[in-house]
């Protein structure tokens, strides 16, 4: 799976980037919203993980803009902003899930699997049957 991971804190970005890569994912890790916006325009991602507070464009702005152009890949907000109003803002901006720091890596992987499963199920054609040979 190709993941865009946007986190401005190198102490979070580097270890998570390494863990996600070791879990078999192709990860583009960047530290600012402007670079993330450029990458989103250049590549297709299976999952986008966004921090809220970023230099340049915020994670919320990136999420809103991504949805406004009709892109549907799952977005997970990963942030220290932990109030209910913050969570509502993130989800209303178009995020599919919202995880608060600190978190357990196993939980993050489980949430990623759920988002990807939903995404694949939504992309599967329905109603048509394709048969090859027998």
With contact defined as beta carbons under 8 Å apart, do 89 and 60 qualify?
yes
Residue 1 binned pLDDT confidence (cut-offs 50, 70, 90): confident
| Distance, CA of 69 to CA of 72 (rounded, Å) | 9
What is the value of pTM for the model shown? 0.86
Helix and strand numbers, DSSP H then E, in the chain: 5, 5
| Distance, CA of 71 to CA of 74 (rounded, Å) | 9
Higher local confidence (pLDDT), 95 or 118: 95
**pLDDT (tens digit, 9 = 90+) per residue, 108-132?**
999 999 998 876 655 544 456 666 7
pLDDT score recorded for residue 125:
47
pLDDT score recorded for residue 71:
94
| Distance, CA of 46 to CA of 25 (rounded, Å) | 10
**pLDDT (tens digit, 9 = 90+) per residue, 49-84?**
999 999 999 999 999 999 999 999 999 999 999 999
Point out the least confidently predicted range of 9-13, 19-23, 124-128: 124-128
The pLDDT mean for the chain works out to 90
pLDDT score recorded for residue 124:
45
């Amino acid at each position: 799976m190709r993941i865009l991971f946007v986190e401005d804190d190198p102490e979070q970005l580097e270890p998570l980037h390494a863990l996600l890569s070791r879990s078999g994912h192709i990860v583009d890790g960047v530290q600012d919203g402007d670079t993330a916006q450029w990458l989103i325009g250049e590549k297709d991602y299976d999952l986008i993980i966004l921090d809220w507070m970023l230099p340049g464009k915020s994670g919320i702005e990136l999420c809103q803009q991504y949805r406004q152009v009709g892109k549907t890949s799952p977005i997970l907000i990963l942030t220290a902003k932990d109030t209910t109003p913050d969570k509502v803002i993130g989800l209303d901006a178009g995020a599919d899930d919202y995880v608060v720091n600190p978190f357990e890596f196993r939980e993050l992987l489980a949430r990623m699997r759920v988002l990807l499963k939903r995404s694949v199920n939504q992309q599967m054609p329905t109603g048509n049957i394709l048969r090859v040979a027998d």
